Each structure stands twice: as C-alpha cells, then as structure tokens.
Structure 1
Amino acid sequence: MAVLVLNAGSSTLKYALIDMPAGRCLDKGTLDGPDQLPRHPVPDLIGHRVVHGGTRFRDPVLVDDAVLAAIEDLSELAPLHNPAALTGIKAAAEAFPGVPQAAVFDTAFHTTLPPAAYTYAVPGEWEVRRFGFHGISCAHATRRTCELLGRSPATTNLIVLHLGNGASATAVEGGRSVDTSMGMTPAEGLVMGTRPGDLDPAVPLRAARVHGPAAVEDTLHHRSGLLALTGTSDMREVRLRADADAGDPDARLARLIYAHRIRKYVGAYYALLGHVHAIVFTGGVGEHDPGIRAAALSGLERLGIHLDPIRNTDPDEPLISADDSEVRLLVLPADEETEIARQIWPLYG
C-alpha cells in the first residue's frame, strides 16, 4: 500500500511516499508549494498533517466536506498552518481524483492533558484552553526513544523538545502528554522563528492601543521571535552571525534568549514529572545545532543531566549524554511523515 503524505508546516511543504505497513520510505522531498505535487504513480491513500483539530479531532479521520469545513473554522487558531493544509488537501484532490485522503492532527497527541494543564485562569465564558501542538512529532519521538531505550512507553517519562521554525517542549508521562508549552495557538511557549512564545498579556494589549489589533496579531505570528531579535527567522543564519569573528551582538543575545527559555521549560517539566528517563531533541534546530543543545542543558547537572561534548558534536550520534548521566539525552530526526502514514493506513478500505 502506497501512502503519499503531505506535511504543510509554517515554513515548508514536505512530502513522502511511504510503503505501508512496512513503513519504508520510497521517496521524499520538499516542495515550493502544492502546485508542484510529485507525479508518482497514483497512491492508495493521501495523508495530511493538520495543525489544529480543536476538541473535535482526537484521532485520524478520512477527509470529507464536514472535515474540510471544520479545519477551515479552526484556521483562526492556527493561521500559519491550517490554511496551508487546506490548500494541500484541495491540490491533492485535483492531482489524484478519487484517491481517499486522511488528516492527522497535531493537537490530538495532547488530548491527554489533564484539566490542571489545559485550563487557563480566565473567565469560563471566554471559552479558551490549551491545546498543544507538534503532537505528531512528539508521538514519533516517544515511540523511537522507547525503542532505542528498550522501554515500554507506559513506563517512560520524557521531555520532548521540538525545535524548528516553530518550537515546543512537551512533558510525556507514561507515553502520554501531560503538559506542553504551546497553548490555544502555536504562539505560546518557546521562542520561535517568527513567534515570541511566552509573553505578558499586557504587552500586546498595550501595542494594540498604539498600532491596532490587526497589526499586533500579524506581528505576533509573522514578525516576532528570532526575526524581531535579529532580522532573520533562520537559526542557521543567526548561528553564523553569532559565531563570526566580530560576533553579532544581536545574534548572540538571541541564542542566549532561545536557550534560556528552553532551559526554564526543561527544569519545570523535570519537576512536574518527578523523574525523567530521557530528554529528546528533534526538529531542524534540535537536530542540527549542538550549540543550542549545550546551552539549553547548561547548569542542569544537579538534575542528573550530563551532556557529552564530543557526542554532542557528532552528527551521526543519536545518544549525546555522558555515560554517567542519569537522564539519557537523544537527538532524533523528525519524521512526521512516517508517523502520519502509520496512523492513517488502518483507515484504508
């Protein structure tokens, strides 16, 4: 069975053709947009990553008109992502008419959050709550980590750090999400490429009085984060500037802020879980930036977190913790496409 997966992120559109149930990748790549869909032989099933499923979607679903309408309604809460997923679904329907399509929701992994974690301390009539995101990546990271450690997910506690253009931290207890840094929308939590993460709510209110609500909303989603601090949302460019002989002070400060926020969440989730078996770095920055990994874990040795500096700079080494580290430290490639295929192929037929 051939499953074509389209993964529309905030900055990329990735695709993969997966042979299921073997989980073997036949082809993958990055597209400039859905108009350039790969012209493979007609797949049996097409899967899509959809960021926001609200409280309605807890499991993968086959796409129909009602599902499309619901995804569109939820676009207000994920303006960088849900519209892109809708575009991908419609383009795939045109390119492969008659082929069933299924959606997997990033929020679904976090439907296990307890009320104490998902409830905001605001009036109930506001009808807001924490949803959490990067759930597909967290599900893959949890499964792969347990395989590598030879542990059952039900007995494993993890902190998963998905660090990319979007960034999040998730506390996983017994294989289930119990807290996560992103909130009602993907704008809360860690510093990201164009989003600020945690912010005093008085800040956008004050800015809205000066610049207007629409401009502030656009800024919070599209012109904050690393972009606001350095003029670029690409951590690779920020790293080059920070490491240059002259050393760009804005770039250096941005990396300190980025790592500082991660370290705060690691400490908080360690306290929440009580015992942590592993901390997992994934996503583009998490996989490829040893400096950020080192800075984010600096000073946490008393928690049993010991990074091996040699392993940390080896791009082929998934285990980067020192031999005496109580907490295992891993770097895992993000593979949302295979995870999506694994979740949707039982829906076929």
Structure 2
Amino acid sequence: MTSTVLVLNSGSSSLKYQLVDPSSGEALASGLIERIGEESGRVKHQSGGSTVEREQPVPSHADALKVALGLFDEAGPSLAGAGVAAVGHRVVHGGALFSAPVLLDDDAVAGIRSLIPLAPLHNPANVTGIEVARELLDVPHVAVFDTAFFATLPPAAATYAVDRKVAEEHGVRRYGFHGTSHQFVSAAVAAHPDVQALGRSPLRQVVLHLGNGASASAVLDGVAVETSMGLTPLEGLVMGTRSGDLDPAIVFHLVRNAGMSVDDVDTLLNKSSGLKGLAGVNDMRELQRLVASGDEAARLAMDVYLHRLRKYVGAYAAALGGIDVLTFTAGVGENDARVRAGVVQGLGFLGLEVDPARNEAPSREARVISPTGTGALVMVVPTDEELAIARQAMELVSR
C-alpha cells in the first residue's frame, strides 16, 4: 500500500492542506478553507481533476479540519484507504528549541507555544491546528519548522549587535524563514544535471524565494550560511506588504512625531508597506500592468524592489566568496520573466546573465535560463513546500 502524508498549514483564519505521496512527489488532493470564524467561510477541495467549491459557516479551526476530512469522504480520495502514515504540520517559528523536524507530543507542543512571543501572528494558529489535528487524526504528527534550515547560520551572520544580555534573555537573533523552500530548492539545484556538470566544490548558491513574502539565502554545499529574514519575517527584501530593511529609528520617529502606537507601526510595516505602500498594490501582476501603463509610483516601486534584490545577490556572492548558481523560485520568481531579467541586469561582473529566449519560455520544470558558457548559472526551480514537509515527516516516522 502507498504511504501518504497529510500536510497541514494552519493560519490565523485559514487551513491549507494537501495529501502527498512522498515517494512519487504526487499531490493526491489539496484544499483551502478560508475565513474561519467569519459569518461565511470559503471551502475549496481539489482531487483527481475535480474541484468542490462552496461557502459555508466554519466557526473554528476544529470545524475547518472536520470539513476537510469530510471533503475527502465526499470528493476523494478516501483517507481510510490512502495509507496516511503521518500528519506533517508547517510551523513558522522553531526558535532556538527546534532545529529539525520533531515528533509532536505534549512537550513539543508546549515548546512551540512558548515561542509565540517570537511569532505572535503565526505560532498561535500553528498550535491550534496541531492540537485539533492530534485530537481528530490518530497517526504520528510531525512539526516541520520554517526556521530549521537556518539553524546552521554562523554566529557572525545570526547575531545582532545589541546588548548581549538583552539578546540572550529575549531570544533576539536572526532565525530566517521560508527555510523549507530554500532547503528543497537548493537541494534540487545541486542535483540538477547542468549543475553537476559544473563540477564546482564547494557549490555556492544564492536562492531567491519571491512571492508576496520574499527572502534570499546563501547556501554553501547544502548548508545555509546567510538569509535575509531575521528575528521575524519583516527583515530583508521588499515584499508585497512588508517593508523589509529600514533604519530602526524610523519606528522611534513615527511613535514620537506621528502619534503612532507600537501596534500602529507594526501594522504599517507588515501590512501597509512594501509594494502596497509604494504603489497601492501588492500583486506583482497588477504592479507590472501599472508600470506598463506609465504609472510613476509603480515604476518607483519596481525600481526599489529590484535594487534591493540586486544588492542582496551581490552581498551574498561576497559572503560566499563567489557565486556558482543564482536560483529564482516561488510565485513571482517562477513566473515573472521581467523580474528575473531585472534582477540580473548589471550583475555580469559576477558571471550572471539571462538568455532572453530561455528566460521567457514558459515551463514548469527546473531549468537553466542563462546563456551557454557563462561563468555562473541562472536557474528557475519550482518550490514545493508541501512535498518537502511530507518527505521530512515520512523520514522521521520511518526511523
């Protein structure tokens, strides 16, 4: 019988799920339940080419999971016959407690709960999803952490230059996020035939995970040595609604002179900044349409976005002592040829170029988009965080 993993990603008002065969990499079913706790929830379940969509009340995460389980019975495939060996939970913050996937027992759940101060927007929902799923599904449960891949950051990269005692007492350091994606993609890059043919050892990679949230990593022979996100996912690149890097004194300035509270500034920097703050939209497709129409605010937003990306690529090439592969992944990275070309523009001194035809050719496969014979490869590699979580969960429960 095929062994599968049910992957759950519990958000503050949503539940995303996928039934995965870790061996084949196939997603047998997937679904999303949104607007949990609102007057009317939105439900979507896809399996075998068919889709069930409807609106119905979903008062709580417990109800959401019950709805999801019911959809497997209604639309398939039946979980009873799917050989579910484990449930894999995406957890945003593992702090210093969790540097690898962990089997979930009461102590592990308590540990995740203790990290809520480091991820107040994410870990509470993750804990809720875990508690509900453990009650309803009698199989091993595994937590896979967004921060785990970056537990290898050297102290010089992980340490903020703030008072050491304050940092130790409050867990202030750089943790990094999107680690499941960066780990999956960097491993796929290393295994790609064109990269193997380079014969570079150690292999020096920069990975750009570009979606509504965005992050960069520097990976040396499979080990993360730098990443753009820090204590929280706010640091680093310009994102859909997040500011990324800024002078921390901006916070003091706004509190003292604009009459804003700490919560006001938190909301500003996380939800009303980035591309949305600069151009009024956070969807890259809409931003590109505005740029094409001659909108000056959109043009500036794109310039700021690309400038920050180029700066990080250059910095990470310096941290690695050079660069062998630059890889784009996630929604924007995989689908927007103009962004890819814009990032690489001017980086020829690092051996980075894109071939226009290769860059613009539509494909869902991992591929090289740089010209033949360049000093470094530029690649597009689709990410699959659900598959990565499923494989890590299966590996742990099979030991």
Paired with 2:117 and 2:286, the residues of 1 have a C-alpha distance of 30
Helix, strand or coil at the partner of 2:191: helix
Corresponding position of 2:8: 6
Q: Which moved more, 1:74-83 or 1:329-338?
A: 74-83
Corresponding position of 1:345: 394
Instruction: Identify which of 213, 231, 235 aligns with 1:188.
Output: 235
Corresponding position of 2:155: 115
Corresponding position of 1:20: 22
Q: Encode CA deviations 1:188-237: one digit per residue, 9 max, x unaligned.
A: 00011121100101001111222111211222222221221122222222
Shift of 1:82: 2.1
Instruction: Identify which of 63, 85, 91 aligns with 1:50.
Output: 91
1:146 equivalenced with 2:148 (yes/no) = no
The 5 A counterparts of 1:236-251 are 236-244=285-293, 247-251=294-298
Paired with 2:33 and 2:359, the residues of 1 have a C-alpha distance of 30
Q: Is this contact kept in 1: 2:322–2:350, CA < 8 A? A: no
Letter in structure 2 aligned against 1:150: Q
Shift of 1:2: 1.2
Letter in structure 1 aligned against 2:291: A
1:88 equivalenced with 2:129 (yes/no) = yes
1:268 equivalenced with 2:306 (yes/no) = no
Shift of 1:292: 1.1
Corresponding position of 1:71: 112
Gaps of 5+ in 1: none
Q: Encode CA deviations 1:57-97: one digit per residue, 9 max, x unaligned.
A: 01111122232232233233223432332343244335x33
1:197 equivalenced with 2:244 (yes/no) = yes
Paired with 2:201 and 2:223, the residues of 1 have a C-alpha distance of 8
Corresponding position of 2:304: 257
Corresponding position of 2:45: none
Corresponding position of 1:41: 79
Letter in structure 2 aligned against 1:41: L
Paired with 1:87 and 1:153, the residues of 2 have a C-alpha distance of 45
* Structure 1 runs of 4+ with >4 Å offset: 8-13, 151-154
Paired with 1:280 and 1:8, the residues of 2 have a C-alpha distance of 28
Paired with 1:11 and 1:183, the residues of 2 have a C-alpha distance of 25
1:310 equivalenced with 2:357 (yes/no) = yes
Paired with 1:80 and 1:113, the residues of 2 have a C-alpha distance of 24
Q: Is this contact kept in 2: 1:195–1:220, CA < 8 A? A: yes
The 5 A counterparts of 1:271-290 are 271-290=318-337
Paired with 2:341 and 2:33, the residues of 1 have a C-alpha distance of 32
Paired with 2:359 and 2:132, the residues of 1 have a C-alpha distance of 41
Corresponding position of 1:325: 374
Q: Which moved more, 1:81-90 or 1:116-125?
A: 81-90
Change (3 A) 1:68 1:170: same
The root-mean-square deviation of aligned C-alpha atoms, in Å, is 2.2
Q: Encode CA deviations 1:145-171: one digit per residue, 9 max, x unaligned.
A: 111123799732100100111111100
Q: Which moved more, 1:235-244 or 1:272-281?
A: 235-244
1:101 equivalenced with 2:141 (yes/no) = yes
Q: Which moved more, 1:167-176 or 1:5-14?
A: 5-14
Letter in structure 2 aligned against 1:92: A
Paired with 1:306 and 1:154, the residues of 2 have a C-alpha distance of 21
Paired with 1:10 and 1:324, the residues of 2 have a C-alpha distance of 48
Letter in structure 1 aligned against 2:101: P
| TM-score after normalising by structure 1 | 0.92
Helix, strand or coil at the partner of 2:241: coil
Paired with 1:300 and 1:10, the residues of 2 have a C-alpha distance of 40
Corresponding position of 2:341: 294
Q: Which moved more, 1:172-181 or 1:271-280?
A: 271-280
Q: Encode CA deviations 1:89-139: one digit per residue, 9 max, x unaligned.
A: 244335x33232111011110111111101111101222111111110011
Shift of 1:284: 0.8
Q: Is this contact kept in 2: 1:12–1:30, CA < 8 A? A: yes
Q: Which moved more, 1:304-313 or 1:146-155?
A: 146-155
Shift of 1:249: 1.5
Q: Is this contact kept in 2: 1:62–1:102, CA < 8 A? A: yes
Helix, strand or coil at the partner of 1:44: strand
Shift of 1:334: 1.4
| TM-score after normalising by structure 2 | 0.81
Letter in structure 2 aligned against 1:26: L
Helix, strand or coil at the partner of 2:174: coil
Change (3 A) 1:153 1:327: closer
Letter in structure 2 aligned against 1:112: T
Structure number with larger C-alpha Rg = 2
Helix, strand or coil at the partner of 2:368: coil
Instruction: Identify which of 183, 189, 203 aligns with 1:156.
Output: 203
Helix, strand or coil at the partner of 1:239: helix
Paired with 1:313 and 1:12, the residues of 2 have a C-alpha distance of 34
The percentage of counterpart residues that share the same residue type is 49
Q: Is this contact kept in 2: 1:320–1:329, CA < 8 A? A: yes
